[in-house]
Amino acid sequence: MTAPITQDVLTIPRKLPEQAKTNIVGLTRDALRAALIAAGTPEKQAKMRLGQVWQWVYHWGVRDFALMTNLAKDYRALLAEHFVIELPEVVTRQISEDGTRKYLVRIAGGHEVEVVYIPETDRGTLCISSQVGCTLTCSFCHTGTQKLVRNLTAGEIVGQVMLARDDLDEWPVQGAPKEEVRLISNIVLMGMGEPLYNFENVRDAMKVVMDGEGIALGRRRITLSTSGVVPEIARTAIEIGCLLAVSFHATTDEVRDQLVPINKRWNIATLLEALKAYPGLSNSERITFEYVMLDGVNDTKEDAHRLVKLLEGIPAKVNLIPFNEWPGAPYKRSSGNRIHAFADIIYHAGYATPIRTPRGEDIMAACGQLKSATERARKSKAEIAAEAGLT
């Protein structure tokens, strides 16, 4: 018996609080322009107003219309009457011994997602979420056991980037020299959720984040990780233009069916076809193959050799992820020796093979450990009840 592709989830419709005002955060340029006009901005001024508001919100990080000093007072009042500039609320922030920061964030309807900031010597990566939970059931992933699932809005996705910039104090200061080093230099869509099951919102959010007049992170600084939603893969290149990572994790369909059940719908051969055809694929823009190292499951030398064969003809790099354990996980992490022996084989075949150092393990911030705290609490309550013989 293998796991079903999707779990028995509860998909919750987005319940927005009664709010007459539109949140600016997450609107594309076109949508914001239309909203400004609908609020009473004369059409012939719309382009200029859009540019001004955009810059205040995304370049300077301003949240209060009253501070938008190059706008006339009554125009600021008009904006305040129709719009808000709102981010998800940070419920808790934890800082790991290694400097990794994990934010538990509350979005409309009271749902929660996690956002992780990983500082390294040459870069700082923000790992953001695209869904509350995940409908897929990868057997090694903690997020996949969460039963509550909802897509994030574009605003909630952009909001994660903005709240991390708030916390890191990364907005430019007027009049101060431009900072050379960006604390958030990269974004990975590797938090909770399958981003290609929420394509439009992820795309719109990344458009806002990449926009040169605002947060201005280049498309090559963004990596989207998918478990292999084949029909949406080409769109990622065409409509977003970011880099792609694929949760590969196995070298035979038999094993991949177990680990990444979406493989039962789009198997390894089908997935590889789609990857070979990824628009814009080149040596400078390679696909990252993520490969979680599970003791005795997918970590043999034969696996490594098979992987090399499968990669043939695809500009690729392989990111080996030592399995991160979570309470009740059915797997163990491969030994260091195994991981290095595996890496050597891939490396000798000519592929970069970084081994991902687990970050923020002490605060459960490492890959695959994310799951909302409320959900964890609920589970432990159930466990306590079971232990006490109450169920």
Which lies closer to ligand SF4 via its Cβ, residue 227 or residue 251? 227
Q: Give the residue, chosen from 105, 108, 127, 134, that forms a contact with ligand SF4 under the rule CB under 6 A.
A: 134
Give CA–CA dist 372/152, Å, rounded: 14
Q: Is 143 in the site for ligand SF4 (CB under 6 A)?
A: yes
Residue written as token pair 């706008």: 71
Candidates 57-65, 66-74, 141-149, 279-287; binding stretch for ligand SF4 (CB under 6 A): 141-149
Instruction: Select the residue whose beta carbon is closest to ligand SF4 and give its number.
Output: 144
Question: C-beta of 194: minimal distance to ligand SF4 in Å?
Answer: 4
Annotated catalytic residue: which of 114, 156, 194, 375? 114
Which lies closer to ligand SF4 via its Cβ, residue 170 or residue 232? 232
389, 135 in Cβ contact below 8 A?
no
Question: C-beta of 227: minimal distance to ligand SF4 in Å?
Answer: 4
What contacts 149, CB < 8 A, 6 or more positions away? 9, 10, 11, 12, 131, 132, 133, 134, 135, 193
Q: Is 367 a catalytic residue?
A: yes
Question: C-beta of 225: minimal distance to ligand SF4 in Å?
Answer: 7
Determine the Cα angle at 290 with ends 138 and 4, to 5°.
Answer: 15
Residues that bind ligand SAH (CB under 6 A): 134, 138, 140-141, 190, 194, 225-227, 247, 290, 292, 321, 323-324, 367-368
Cβ count within 10 A of residue 5: 15
Q: Is 124 in the site for ligand SF4 (CB under 6 A)?
A: no
Q: Is 114 a catalytic residue?
A: yes
Q: Give the residue, chosen from 112, 170, 194, 375, that forms a contact with ligand SF4 under the rule CB under 6 A.
A: 194
What contacts 132, CB < 8 A, 6 or more positions away? 12, 107, 111, 112, 113, 146, 148, 149, 150, 152, 192, 193, 372
Which lies closer to ligand SAH via its Cβ, residue 83 or residue 140? 140
Range list of H helices, the chain: 29-38, 43-54, 73-82, 154-167, 199-210, 230-235, 253-259, 268-276, 301-311, 336-348, 373-387
Which lies closer to ligand SF4 via its Cβ, residue 247 or residue 258? 247
Q: Which of 161, 271, 256 is nearest to 226 (CA)?
A: 271
Residues that bind ligand SF4 (CB under 6 A): 134, 136, 138, 141, 143-144, 193-194, 227, 247
Query: Which residues does the annotation mark as catalytic?
Result: 114, 367
